[in-house]
Structure 1
Amino acid sequence: MREGAAGRRERVLEAVRTRGEVRVAQLAAELDVSVVTLRRDVEELARLGQLRRGHGVARSLSPVPAQRDASGPAVGLIVPENHSYLFEAVRGARTALEAAGVRMALHIAPHQPGAEQAMAQQAVQQGVSGLLVSPRWHTADSAARDEEWLAELAVPAVLMERRPAPGSPLHAHDSVRSDHWYGAHLAVDHLVSLGHRRIVLAARDDSPTGRTLRAAFAQIAGEREEVARWAVVLSAGPGDGAERPASLVDLPAVLREHGATAAVLHADVDALMLVQQLREQGVRVPEDCSVVAYDDVVAALGSPPLTAVAPPKEEIGRAAAELLLRRLHHPRGAAPEAVRRIELLPELKVRGSTARVAAAGG
């Protein structure tokens, strides 16, 4: 499910404000929409006086970022393409950096092996004083490979919404991440409070968040006496990085197998698809099955709107930028500051996809 026009146009404005000028074709590829669709967005935003149109480009109304490119301090920010979750973190980082008078240079890493490393090298060559990095890390092996070059960067770097493995080369590097264990706890605790005793978690295997959630849910559900039966399944595997991998399981069949009355899904789109599949099989949400989404990027747009665990996406970016600024402003020759590993707590947004178990259920 694609995001709506309003959200997409906000991301167009975000890119224009950040870069000063963007090519329509390139931005269409980054946002995973057609050039025709993005051209219409640009035309509408220009009509509203929020940007300027050029031949195949969209330009910021303010010339200030372009004038500061050569002389002002800059921080590079690297995020994967087609990742709406992290674009909210970009907004938070930009707010903190601009308040400090620091320009943000955004780099979008394509779905190719080694893309983040190439972007980091390019940013350093262009003279950034530090980096905010959110590697894709489709697999644990890819994370291990990235840790080597990230640890050897010539400028300070902060990991954003990522946590280095214990004992890895990045263990002693600054990082800011959502507390996904707490997010899993919120989901389970909410469902248990509604009387659900059989719960399934379906999480992806192509993101570090999905892998963390699977481990956290297994621990939490296994320790809750109220949970009579639980299961953790893969909703999607790591794939080849080029396309969104296909679903690995028939989730409605898994729910029937376990007699589950509730499901937690990472991420939103998978949760929305499950609701559709259940409806096609005559299973009502939330009357027959409660559904909790994890990420809360588009969960509220569902029918019904989905209850969701909402990591503090924008605050993650802001905190990461503030942490990097603190590192950059540390006086030369002064005693080294302690490395900081910050975790911010998600919150639960209760909407229409969860309900108390009927008397015959549970």
Structure 2
Amino acid sequence: MKIAFYGSSLLSSYWNGAATYYRGMLRDLAGRGHTITFYEPDAYDRQKHRDIDPPPWAEVRVYPATPDAMRAVAAEAAAADVVVKASGVGVFDDELLEGVMAASRPDAIRIFWDVDAPATLAELAANPDHALRRTLPMLDLVLTYGGGPPVVAAYEGFGATVCIPVYNALDPETHHPVPGEPRFAADLAFLGNRLPDREARVETFFLDAAARLPQRAFLIGGSGWADKGMPGNVRHLGHVYTREHNAFNTTPLAVLNIARDSMAAVGYSPATRVFEAAGAGACLVTDAWAGLDLFLREGEEVLVARDGQDVAGHLAALTPERARAIGAAARDRITREHTYAHRGAQVDAILRDAAARKRGRGA
């Protein structure tokens, strides 16, 4: 099928945590015979911070962040068999959603792909005239980055015909063990941009743990932290490109995952960082959230913390030998059950089922 995918960015992970999710998913779908065109706006300096060149498995159309350019690329949805508008494009989101769905053919499969379902659902609840609420009756599918049963129930409550979680996963060709690099040396490392709905949890789980263990070395990567007050044993790197993530995950004794507020509250929303770290064989410490056991087993494949004191306790007790054992177990589990080949097969089947349903209705 010919897929037109309107998202934030395929080429850059700069202020764009969904980049690796898009890459893993769409690369696998292309390998299954689908033709991908990815439309992304030239916004937020992402094109100045590209991680990859346009890949051979997708045509990437970068358009100016202007109303006219947005309308022009939206009109191209008419040529696609599958039209996908992702959440969080960041520029003219509502207009783009309504434009691409209006331009799509009656026989096309229309999808809203939500990479931040808890936040989107909060917006829908607060705004009865939200563009997505108006568009839901036109859609064949809502796919979500995570969220599990609570998100499915909420979307169905707003009128979605079908809502299916398609979780993050591992691309073993991209994220895997590599030799360590001295600049990523630390006892505990955290990678994530500074966002309003994450900052307090970073203070609780990361900075508090650093303050409790002044003799240990802590490392934080991601944009926005330069002016944040931190304990003296925390070193800040700034933006870490996806090509550097393997070394970032492999080098420290352990790495920390911290969910954003809404994803922690809803659960069933493992971040890309979870799979990247597991793929690299890192010893992962994560904050607690519902549904974690679907992906990793507590105490054997991941260490789980309820607060900064727990994080500090895990780190104080962790030996290099146990860290390696946890990382190896996590990598084995994720490689067996949670790669983008698994997710691509899921989405391929979803698309074929949706196409059959439309043919059966004579759409």
TM-score, normalised to structure 1, is 0.38
| TM-score, scaled relative to structure 2 | 0.37
Higher relative contact order (Cα pairs below 8 Å, separated by 6+ residues): 1
